[in-house]
Structure 1
């Protein structure tokens, strides 16, 4: 027992040393509300890793926040929780904010988690051994985290570039973990649009053929033609206006998590995330992490051309966005991140 206590204390000290620059924490009395509910779809994915780090390393608590995170099968379901009022904030895909504005609902991104989507579209070697091109997906079943999620958006865009539409395939919700792996392995789906560590696990097992990849900046630019913002924290404009200090505290914690991830070793990452994230293979998890680390935002800032790329992507295939007067300036802000970065102590 004494040895375990000593090791735990040593690990905590190492983590504190690793954090290096720390943010000037908000005082609880300054917050409009301490309790914040965050909805996320597929929390175990690297796409949302900064959220897990902020939670597990108590960065939210350091800001005086009591954060409750609800995990859904996909981003589209997390979005519904916020629209329905059961969640204050969403950790989800930026493109959902544009889709909401097209429906006259005003939400805004306030801290970016990912600067590349990390989504991989692959076909099953079992059910599509003769695959030659995207056109071969016509009439096939494509697994996504959830219909309407960022995985189905990415797949729809790839299909559109090849002259196909979402109506030419069947999107099947398979989640973001072991369920997705099982669906592919059992032949329930012919292709899969998902993220790491799921895709690296299937690829290493020789069960998929990758046909479109957005895990690196170069691959993302190749698929989308520019910077493509991915995971972020967003909330209704009404929530942000009513709770600016709470929103700032959330941003501070997330920026701190992003900074921590830039310096974290593989051992420290494994020590921090829940065992269930590893899919039973620590070495595979770390290999996947090395592949996608570049995709995470180093500072939380939205890249200048990112919102425009996201809008063009949706306009390529989504009838709900085509021709709609979207005001991109109302979909994002760097104000909270800029303030967070300014409070970093040397």
Structure 2
């Protein structure tokens, strides 16, 4: 069931973004400690979903890069939202969280020991997607006109405080509007089937969702990508660090060697994706199983631009991401690059 979020409800949700998620998993919280509670010889990584950002982790598993770097990987649960990833980190049930930098900033709000560990994607890989019956200017119209067409509409997002909501907040602010009051945000969760079903059934007018949702909609002939930062539609949102791995300093220190090996393995994955498109195409087809070949082809064409070339996070890409979050009001002040990005992950 889709959840429509009113402004008052949204205020309550945002003010309680991460801590209720922790309370919602008492089995995890019972073993809570910032240094982690999992097997000392195993690295447990939780991620939001199977979006394109986490493809490098799949590549490292399939190609044996983690094993080659001496890293034994535990379970890699798909937790659905950044708040649940943060909850699992705080409980110690996972050592690293894979999400978007919005999630890392949200964790920092409640734990100033939060650290950015790895860069995965250096483009904002969230698209605004509309159905075939959407009433608005074409996708090549000026950006402001396309944003204006979304005013008053029902827009599907993964959830409050997410990178999907963040993009809508940022875009509406560009035209002097408030996405939370001048449109209706509908929480769908991270499942692709639920998102696409809501759009095609007309329960939402548009989706603001991570890749490959837009590509899947286009392949199925059910709609089109209307606004895409990756495509270059948003001039002020070019090449930010977006997909990322994060944790806390205490958890990293407890498994420093494994974390270092994890990043070395991911660097091998990123190099493969950049340098061997044929192999990347094969692996992406396996990662996105049951996805139409045309969708996979569309994504492969995007990978060289948006997948990071290294897990190291440049200060420039961090500044773009920080400006996005402060401009959209998601954070009052972004943490300092030197203190927030893990020393070994700084470029």
Superposition TM-score, scaled by structure 2 size: 0.77
Q: Is 1:258–1:298's contact at 8 Å kept on the other side of the alignment?
A: yes
Q: Is 2:119–2:241's contact at 8 Å kept on the other side of the alignment?
A: yes
Structure 1 residues 187 and 201: CA distance shift in structure 2, 3 A:
same
Number of residue pairs matched by the alignment: 299
Provide structure 2 residue ranges, at least 5 long, that are not aligned to the other structure.
Answer: 1-38, 138-144
1:61-95: per-residue Cα shift (whole Å, max 9, x none)? Answer: 22222212111223343233223332210111123
Partner of 2:166: 153
Q: Is 1:47–1:114's contact at 8 Å kept on the other side of the alignment?
A: yes
Provide structure 1 residue ranges, at least 5 long, that are not aligned to the other structure.
Answer: 1-31, 339-346
Structure 1 residues 135 and 325: CA distance shift in structure 2, 3 A:
closer
Stretch of structure 1 that moved more, 187-196 or 162-171: 162-171
Partner of 2:216: 201
1:97-123: per-residue Cα shift (whole Å, max 9, x none)? Answer: 223323343211122111112111123
- Give the secondary structure class of the aligned counterpart of 1:181: helix
Give 1:174-185 correspondences, 5 Å limit.
Answer: 174-185=189-200
1:30-81: per-residue Cα shift (whole Å, max 9, x none)? Answer: xx932111111112x2121111111222211222222121112233432332
Is the aligned partner of 1:59 residue 2:72? no
Distance 1:37 1:65 in 2: 10
Return the offset for 1:278.
Answer: 4.1
Stretch of structure 1 that moved more, 329-338 or 32-41: 329-338
- Give the secondary structure class of the aligned counterpart of 1:313: helix
Distance 1:312 1:90 in 2: 23
Distance 1:171 1:37 in 2: 31
Q: Is 1:36–1:88's contact at 8 Å kept on the other side of the alignment?
A: yes
Partner of 2:305: 294
Which of 262, 275, 282 is the equivalent residue of 2:274?
262
Structure 1 residues 276 and 180: CA distance shift in structure 2, 3 A:
farther
Partner of 1:102: 109
Q: Is 1:227–1:303's contact at 8 Å kept on the other side of the alignment?
A: no
Return the offset for 1:173.
Answer: 2.0
Distance 1:334 1:274 in 2: 35
1:234-255: per-residue Cα shift (whole Å, max 9, x none)? Answer: 1111112232211101111111
Alignment RMSD, CA only? Answer: 2.5
Stretch of structure 1 that moved more, 270-279 or 71-80: 270-279
Distance 2:90 2:323 in 1: 24
Partner of 2:180: 167
